[in-house]
Amino acid sequence: MNKKSKYPLINFWIISILALIWNIFGVFAYLGQTFMSQKILLSLPKPEQYYFSNTPAWVTAAFATAVFGGVFGSIGLLVKKRVANFLYSISIVSLLTYQFYNFFIQDYMVISGTKLLLPISTTVIGIYLIWFSYRMSKYDILN
């Protein structure tokens, strides 16, 4: 993609569509966690039951802001608007707030081993999407 072209290449569309799909999965995860039935909650191991039963409202709000900010940022990419940068930035700050709680404040469950894959991948993808949207702004793809 050269700096003079205002028309995105196919990789822009592929990345934007994949970003939207990824963030929609995040919305489903948020909704599943937030509206978990009592029956499902009681089927979980005790540490996870305590975690989901005692999550503060500000953590749930951070989770919601992260995933919905990501979805709207992805929509911003697809309609080629610079607001995607801002929305992805809000999303990553909210994600880091949510993860700070999970790693450093809550003491109901241990997050290690394979449980680290999702937090690491969401952070890496979130940072990549900020960089990507910023880069597309520099190339005047986003206006």
Any domain includes 15: yes
For 1-31, how does the pLDDT look when each residue is reduced to its tens digit (9 = 90+)? Answer: 545 567 889 999 999 999 999 999 999 999 9
Q: In terms of DSSP H, where are the helices of 35-105?
A: 38-43, 46-53, 57-78, 83-100
Is 30 a member of any domain? yes
Task: Compute CA 32 distance to the chain's CA centroid, rounded to the nearest angstrom.
Answer: 15
Where in the sequence is the domain holding 121, given as residue range(s)? 10-138
- Quick check: is 143 in a domain? no
Structural domain total, the chain: 1
User: In the prediction, which pLDDT does 112 show?
Assistant: 83
Instruction: Report the interhelical angle of 117-138 vs 10-34 (nearest 10°).
Output: 140
65: number of Cβ within 10 Å: 18
Q: Is residue 121 in a domain?
A: yes
Model confidence pLDDT, tens digit, residues 38-69: 999 999 999 999 999 999 999 999 999 999 99
